[in-house]
């Protein structure tokens, strides 16, 4: 998520323990909500969205904007976060898993590609840890992930038909392009939250999650990916 790429200072052992325990608890909550499904999952998504908006509102109010700027950014935040939450609750629950899988892939690949090859920063004044190598690596790997998913999807679809349709490269190429786009928008979400934190003079969006900062620190890349994938999914259903 935000500012989690290669040049980040190493965590102390005590901090690593807290981060690990918090991650386990968060994972257990997410798995529990998904397993329960229905309104439990929807309620969890909207609760996360509400917490994210609350943290964004705090940063906007502390960000030195004028009255009109505060109203505008708060309205944007409500629409931005609310749309992502609505799309994730209106679609297939497995879409949420796919969103999380894409964002985790982007975060991990950006981290390691940045660590191995990253020298040139994208915007050091906003997010000093983000590099062009990390972004490009994430786009390539995420593109490969979605492209491979499209290969598998054709096989699954064909297996359900009496006469299997011939394999087509076009959905695979479209998947590669979509995966690269998702990597870019996930990084853009990171930059947006980092910019708000710089404006507000805050290191983290809050201290709600021990060792991880706030909810917005964990959802900054998820939100734009959820919007793009949610819209594509709904368009595909028309």
Mean pLDDT score of the chain: 87
Does residue 1 sit within a domain? no
Residue 233 confidence (pLDDT):
85
- Per-residue pLDDT reduced to its tens digit, 144-181: 999 998 888 887 654 455 555 677 888 899 999 999 99
In degrees and rounded to multiples of 5, residue 213 shows phi and psi of 90, -130
- Per-residue pLDDT reduced to its tens digit, 198-221: 999 999 998 888 778 899 999 999
Indicate the pLDDT class of residue 11, thresholds 50, 70 and 90.
very low
Higher pLDDT, 47 or 157: 47
Residue 155 confidence (pLDDT):
74
Indicate the pLDDT class of residue 15, thresholds 50, 70 and 90.
low
HEC string for the chain: CCCCCCCCCCCCHHHHHHHHHHHHHHHHHHHHHHHHCHHHHHHHHHHHHHHHHHHHHHHHHCCCCCHHHHHHHHHHHHHHHHHHHHHHHHCCHHHHHHHHHHHHHHHHHHHHHHHHHCCCECCCCCCCCCEHHHHHHHHHHHHHHHHHHHHHHHHHHHHCCCCCCCCCHHHHHHHHHHHHHHHHHHHHHHHHHHHHHHHHCCCCCCCCECCCECHHHHHCCHHHHHHHHHHHHHHHCC
Does residue 3 sit within a domain? no
Is the predicted pLDDT of residue 13 greater than 90, yes or no? Answer: no
**How many domains does the chain fold into?**
1
List the domain range (segments joined by +) for residue 219: 13-236
- Across 9-23, average pLDDT: 64
Residue 192 confidence (pLDDT):
97
Does residue 165 sit within a domain? yes
Residue 74 confidence (pLDDT):
98
Does residue 2 sit within a domain? no
Does residue 126 sit within a domain? yes
- Per-residue pLDDT reduced to its tens digit, 64-113: 999 999 999 999 999 999 999 999 998 888 888 899 999 999 999 999 99
Structure tokens at 108: 């991990």
């Amino acid at each position: 998520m935000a500012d989690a790429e290669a040049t980040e200072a190493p965590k102390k052992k005590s901090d690593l323990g807290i981060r690990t325990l918090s991650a386990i608890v968060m994972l257990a909550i997410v798995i529990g909500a998904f397993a329960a499904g229905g309104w439990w999952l929807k309620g969890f998504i909207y609760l996360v969205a509400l917490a994210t908006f609350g943290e964004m509102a705090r940063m906007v109010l502390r960000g030195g904007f004028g009255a009109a700027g505060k109203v505008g950014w708060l309205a944007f935040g409500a629409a931005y976060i609310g749309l992502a939450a609505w799309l994730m609750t209106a679609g297939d629950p497995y879409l949420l898993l796919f969103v999380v899988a894409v964002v985790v892939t982007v975060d991990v690949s950006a981290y390691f590609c940045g660590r191995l090859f990253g020298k040139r920063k994208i915007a050091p004044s906003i997010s000093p840890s983000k590099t062009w190598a990390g972004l490009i690596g994430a786009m390539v790997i995420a593109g490969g992930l979605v492209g491979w998913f499209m290969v598998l999807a054709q096989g699954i679809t064909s297996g359900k038909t009496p006469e299997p349709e011939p394999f087509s490269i076009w959905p695979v190429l479209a998947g590669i392009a979509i995966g690269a786009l998702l990597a870019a928008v996930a990084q853009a979400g990171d930059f947006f939250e980092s910019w708000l934190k710089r404006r507000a003079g805050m290191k983290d969006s809050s201290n709600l999650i021990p060792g991880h900062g706030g909810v917005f620190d964990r959802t900054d890349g998820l939100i734009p990916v959820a919007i793009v994938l949610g819209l594509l999914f709904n368009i595909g259903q028309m």
